[in-house]
Amino acid sequence: MARLLLIFFMVSPVYSWTTPEPRGFWIVSEDASTLYGATDFHGNYKIGQWSIPEQLPAFENNITENDHMRVIWDKETKTTTLTLRGNELPCNDELDGYISPLAMAYSNYLSEYKRIRLRVSIRREDYVINSFSCNTTQGGDIIGIIFFNEKSKQKLFYQLRFSNIQMNPNIKYWWRNEMQHPDGWVSWGYRDQLSTYNEFIPDVGVWESYNLNITRIIKNIIRNKAGMDNDLSRWKVRNMFYGSHIWGDMEISTSWKNVRLHAK
């Protein structure tokens, strides 16, 4: 009996963590200072609007819309459809619409997980390029995961592309490299493609589901990036987001559901 008890206490505990399922939405002001216009008071996700010429109005019957963005929340199917419109967007400005948890518990340290999986169902509804009057007219759909290291005050923004409109689908690169912030934190940003996981981007007009094992990719990025704290026992998942971004006079509309990050 004593030996059995010893074995029991020596077994390492199994930690399981996942992002929450959406119940409803708030809207974040363009300057990220205020929450407003919720679908209902118990909403646990938020809609971010960056560089938008005019802020979204409050949700009404689970829809918010103006000339620049539209968000439709289907509570029954738990599907969010996000549309961006760049008809009044100044050239070289980037319009972003992102969906993310309002608040969630951080994961445990990455060193404690054997598998980190990203699951998502996505339907690219449509995209239209109205004009090439701007030198940069492009856009796409992405999922971003934010990792952070409190001990070293470091952040990693990992972005995975699910479409590349007028953008090179083969480019994977560091779009931020050891950026120093006024609060003493340092951040990196890496842009990845579905080809890393031997997957193809979804076609327009059909639902596609993905179940991606991102463990090796994320751990290798942190272990091997010069200047970054390479110790996985100091890194956690802080948050995630998904949505679209555009430059120039174009429109993009995409539906999302079952977007979950799960680690164990």
Q: Is 185 exposed, middle or buried (0-12, 13-18, 19+ CB in 10 A)?
A: middle
Helices of type H across the chain: 2-10, 215-224
pLDDT on residue 8:
40
pLDDT on residue 116:
98
pLDDT digits (tens, 9 = 90+) for 110-150: 999 999 999 999 999 999 999 999 999 999 999 999 999 99
Q: What is the mean pLDDT of the chain?
A: 94
Residue 15 has pLDDT above 90, yes or no: no
pLDDT digits (tens, 9 = 90+) for 187-222: 999 999 999 999 999 999 999 999 999 999 999 999
Domains and CATH numbers, the chain: 20-263 (2.60.120.180)
